[in-house]
Structure 1
Amino acid sequence: MDGAVTSQHRTVILAGRITVLLSMLHLVVTMAFNVRHLPAWFSGGLWFPAEGLADPMPSLGAFWLTIGSFFLPLLVLGLLIAWLGRRAVIPPAFVAWLLGGWCTVGALAFEPSGFILLWVPAVMVLRAARSRA
């Protein structure tokens, strides 16, 4: 590979940025609805919940919807995708398929949500990977 940034690489960079944006949007929106639970999170209120994990109290559910959610791994994935694109590397198609599969399952199980929006960067990466092959 000559290291030149092509339109496919620019597409990959944009896909990474969209993934980062969606992860941050998820955190901001869910935190806006759950900020009232912050005191419980930092006072030990989530440690060894009496109700267990099968029937969580609202502050525990809010934690897993915000800070404990997949926003951080999704953020890392988006940053990695963009980083690869800037280095003229197109991620393999399995990255797009796994992201698309995960967001499909999430969208089928939980709506309204932004899960389905993750198909946008997934398709962008998939098209770039296919054009490379």
Structure 2
Amino acid sequence: MIAWAGRLIVLFGAAHTILALTLMRAARYAGDWFTGALWHDDLAAMSPANSALWLSLDSFGVPLILVGMTVLWFDRHGITPPPFIAWALGLWTVFGAVVLLLTPWPIMAVATGLLIAGSRRPARIPDAVEAV
């Protein structure tokens, strides 16, 4: 369960970032991002380049990839992820579902459910300890 949750979280974060850069064409503003054009941009009235940055590389996609990879690392090492990860993702998913109904939030809801269920399992004993 935990491995599937981690995979779904990585998939969601990667898909969001890659699709924003390609399908939504955010990458076309990369020149603006790296030349300092956004240094004095107004966040309340974002330029298209700033909006594209926040949609792609500065979005939640990259941190979700890291969270998913951490969950997978925990699982590979026989460590049950702490429940706060699942509950925080769950609250964030509910918020996203309420605010932006037409998003793929059900993927994160499934991942959250898998994490909550998996966090209730007893921790496995690492192989090194079993061999002793």
TM-score by length of 2: 0.84
Q: How many aligned residue pairs are there? A: 121
Which stretches in structure 2 are left out of the alignment for 5+ residues?
124-132
Counterpart residue type for residue 70 of structure 2: L
Cα offsets for 1:9-55 (capped at 9, x unmatched): xx212211111111100011111112222221122111111xx1111
Counterpart residue type for residue 82 of structure 2: P
Change (3 A) 1:112 1:37: farther
Residue of structure 2 equivalent to 1:8? none
Residue of structure 2 equivalent to 1:48? 40
Select 1:35's aligned residue among 4, 27, 38.
27
State how far apart, in whole Å, the 2-side matches of 1:112 and 1:46 are.
Answer: 29
State how far apart, in whole Å, the 2-side matches of 1:115 and 1:45 are.
Answer: 33
Cα offsets for 1:109-132 (capped at 9, x unmatched): 124322332111111010012243
Residue of structure 2 equivalent to 1:73? 63
The answer as to 2:85 corresponding to 1:86 is no
Secondary structure of the residue aligned to 1:132 is coil
State how far apart, in whole Å, the 2-side matches of 1:71 and 1:36 are.
Answer: 18
Which stretches in structure 1 are left out of the alignment for 5+ residues?
1-10
The answer as to 2:6 corresponding to 1:25 is no
Contact 1:90 1:125 in 2 (8 A): no
Residue of structure 2 equivalent to 1:121? 111
TM-score by length of 1: 0.83
Residue of structure 2 equivalent to 1:98? 88
Q: Percent identity?
A: 31
